[in-house]
Structure formats: C-alpha cells, structure tokens
Structure 1
C-alpha cells in the first residue's frame, strides 16, 4: 500500500508514526523544528489521514506498509518513532526488520496487551451523521455527550474534511477500525530482541507505561532507556513539546 506522507528538511531520515484516530498533521509543529536537523517523514498509516482505506487492518499489515515505504523512498538507516498505536507499529517493525532501523523511539505505549478502551470514542464518532451535517460545530455538539474533554474532541475532528461538493467526510476508515479494534491492543512479541538503541518516553500522568512493563521492555529491547516527562499525559508530545523535542534530539545525537 502506498502511504500518504509529508516530508520536511534534509539529513538523517526520521520517520514519525501517529496513533489511533490520528494523522500526520498532528506532528507538523514539532516536525518543523526537527526538520532543521533531520529529514522528517510524517506518515499516514493505512485507514488514517490521506492514506488508502482497506477492510484489512492489523499490525502485520502496517509493518509491511512501512517496509514498502522505506524501500520506495530509499531511506538509509532511518530513526523511527511512533506514538501509541504508532509506537506498536514501530516496535513490531524494528523487531521484524532490525536492519532497516538505526534507532527506535516509542512514545507512551508498552509491548503488553491492552484491553479495548475506545468504545466511547467509536460510539461518539458513529453518532455524528455527516450526511446531514452542515458545520463542524454540529459535529462537536454530537460528540460532546460521549467525549467530555474538548481537546480530545478537537483531536478527533481533525479527521473531518469537506469534499468538493461541500459535504463532509472522514479521513479515517471508521468502519474498518471499529471492526478490527481488538487488534489495536495486541501484545507485541518476538523470539529475537531488537538490540539497537531504543528510547521509551512516557507521560508522568499516563498509565500506558507502568513499572510492571519494564521487564518486557528490557527483554524485547535490551538497550532501551525509559524517560518520564513530568506533568504530561498520554499526548506527551503535545502537552510538553519543548521537553519532548529535546529528549528526542539528545537521543538521536
């Protein structure tokens, strides 16, 4: 599958993967700063952003999509970073194609399995009848009973766009994501560890990476270091961008 992407800058290739319900746009602000040092590739994963839609949605497929992307663009020894679901893709890719990765950065996700916990979001998105909607305000109003946090609503509604006929559409393939939602929490496993430099970044207020996860992280990624960003939650890169930026730059150097 040919993935949609944006690229900025020159130098060491640095591939960034968004999380569930996200898209490459989420990373543009930080990417502008990193592009002063690296060649940044912001990739839309399948069924997200402007990448193609498919009824098939799994980590195995997203890993193969990324492998095709790296070959197509002739990326040599890229740094790969992923947030949440994108972090799972990055982990699985590094374990499957270690020769294609120079360094790995995983943002606020661990290798362990996660139970399905996105039902409120899916119900809220399904409550938006985009065929009858005339404004974004209407969409946000329909979403509000399911998602009380304004920042989360705005994050989700970045997927909304106007078609040429002025009607609204979704960038993401909501039906495929809903049908395969259990896949998103799948455990990351491998018989062979990834032995290159790895950085896990967690938000202090987030529960996605816990003390109990450290043995599995060290088993799969023996060179891993774990950094905690104070006063940040799951969207650590958005909540503490300056600290996050510096952690990434220091690690790549």
Structure 2
C-alpha cells in the first residue's frame, strides 16, 4: 500500500457536504456543471484524484489508494457524513467509498458508471485520432464554433462521447477535456487499466449499500453502456434509475439543465441524504 496523498481539492459553498469524484481522464474542475449548481445550497468538495490534475504522483499505485486518499480527505476537513456524486470512474469510487465507509456516506449520485462496467466502443482509426486532435485544438481556441463542430467534431471521437453537438456541450469540452487529458499521469492510467484487466465486478457486494442511490445514464453511452448502469441500479437496494435519450458518456454537458433539475427533484424526495433526518 502506498502513502496517502493530500489531494488538491476545489471547495465551493456552505452547508451539508457533497463530495464530487471525477472520471478518467479528469480533474475536480470537470465537475463544475454539478458543483456550480449544488454549491448554492451545499458545500461541495471536488478533489483531483491521485495522479490527476494538481494531485501529482510519480510512482505506480493501485485503485485502492484512491480510497485511502479520499478517507484522509474526509478526515482532513472533518466531514463525518456526506453525499457522494461520482461520474464514470468517480462513480465506481463512490460505490467503493459507500462500501468502505457506510456510516459516512448518506447517499450516492452515480453518473455514467457501473459496478461491472462494460462498453461497446468501435475500433479507433488514425483518422479518428487526427480529427479529434484538430477538433479539440480548434474548440479550445474558439469554443462552440459551428464550422469546427460540423467539419471535425462530428467526425472525431467526440461523436462517441456526445450525441448532441451543441455549442453548450462544446463549451464544456473546451474548458475541461484538453487540460484534463494533459494532466492525467501514466500512473493513474495504469492503475485504472490494471483494475479493468483484472475483471472488476462489484455487483455481488452492492446489496451491502443501504443508502439511497440515483443512477443516471445516457442511452448512447459507448464507454460504459446504459445496460451496464441499469444492471448496477437493479443490484442496489434503494435506487432510482434514469436514462436520457440521445445522449452519451458526457451527457451532463449535453443536457445540464434537465439533469440538474432531476437531481434537485431526487434530493427533495430523499432529504436524509443531505442531513435532514
């Protein structure tokens, strides 16, 4: 087991704590679509996981080390109980945290994730990579540019990450994707792929999670399929499942207002997850 790494963390708002966990590649800043909204009523904590963003790491580690880091983060800020929101890899870690610290996790919001993840992504060609690089660079320079979306974006790998090629979606991509990719270390990539290669499957253990869970998916997700997420929802005791049509893995950036509205409705229906017992 490696040492605990003090994580870089973005903190917003005041109130009941919500811990936000990003995906791969990613940073805590990628969760702004959630934290900017939720921090109006709650205190959000969005760390850069080990080996991502500003939480630099220069040695190999295993997925379990992420949980060590996150428990240390909760202790560091004196967080006794929190709601955990996780996107993709972050959702897997959210479930792991609920299994590890059941008395501290009041609820789960699981976005484009699964306890037994599988995808159906087509093979990637050299042209896919070329168009993706050009689209990402032009979008970074001029976010949401229609010509770039039509000429390169819809022909790049973005076509598997989103279905609604809107300026809003590309604006989020411009703020997050390129920087997150460049700040993702080889060690974090190796840790994730090692876990996947080992056949990660937590479905049999989900019955131990008692807290309410909101499981959200995009119906055209090719990275972690909607069926994979639905399987997870069915194994959780107290879960609500929602699948959004014509969206993919980055659906929070495709339909932010609809998604945040649904999260608000779920929070109102489950006041215990935000400390109103």
* TM-score (ref. length: structure 2): 0.70
Q: Partner residue of 1:149?
A: 158
The 1:54/1:190 distance shift into structure 2, 3 A limit, reads: farther
* Structure with the larger RCO, 1 or 2 (CA within 8 Å, 6+ apart): 2
Evaluate the alpha carbon distance shift between residue 182 and residue 40 of structure 1 in structure 2; reply closer, same or farther with a 3 A threshold.
Answer: same
**Aligned 8 A contact 1:6 1:42 in 2:** yes
Any conservation in 2 of the 1:116–1:182 contact (CA below 8 Å)? Answer: no
Q: CA deviation at 1:209?
A: 4.1
CA separation in 1, counterparts of 2:231 and 2:123?
Answer: 30
- Deviation of 1:43 after TM superposition, in Å, equals 1.3
Q: Which residue of 2 aligns with 1:188?
A: 202
Which of these residues, 231, 237, 241, is aligned with residue 226 of structure 1? 241
Change (3 A) 1:106 1:242: same
Aligned equivalents of 1:212, 1:172: Cα separation in 2: 25
Is it true that 1:238 corresponds to 2:250 in the alignment?
no
Residues 85 and 184, structure 1, Cα contact 8 Å, conserved in 2: no
Q: CA shift at 1:76, angstroms? A: 3.0
Partner of residue 145, structure 2: none
Moved more, 56-65 or 204-213: 204-213
The reply to whether residue 176 of structure 1 matches residue 187 of structure 2 is: yes
Gaps of at least 5 residues in structure 1 are: 129-135, 161-169
Equivalent residue number for residue 164 of structure 1: none
Alpha-carbon shift at residue 115 of structure 1 (Å): 6.8
Aligned length: 228
Query: Any idea what SS the aligned residue of 2:70 has?
Result: helix
Q: Select which of 85, 110, 114 maps to 1:110.
A: 114
SS in 1 for 2:259: helix
Closer/same/farther in 2, CA of residues 41 and 241 from structure 1, 3 Å limit: same
Whether 2:22 is the aligned partner of 1:18: answer: yes
Give the C-alpha shift of residue 182 in structure 1.
2.1
- Contact 1:95/1:190 (8 A) holds in 2: no
Instruction: Tell whether the 8 Å contact from 2:13 to 2:41 is kept in structure 1 after alignment.
Output: yes
**Local SS of the residue matching 2:84:** strand
Within 1, Cα distance between the matches of 2:41 and 2:261? 12
C-alpha change, 1:147 and 1:55, in structure 2 (3 Å) is farther
CA distance in 2, matches of 1:2, 1:203: 33
Measured on the aligned residues, the alpha-carbon RMSD in Å equals 3.3
Matched, 1:64 2:96: no
- Structure 2, gaps ≥5 residues long: 142-151, 160-169, 269-277
Other structure's SS at 1:231 match: coil
SS at match of 2:216: strand
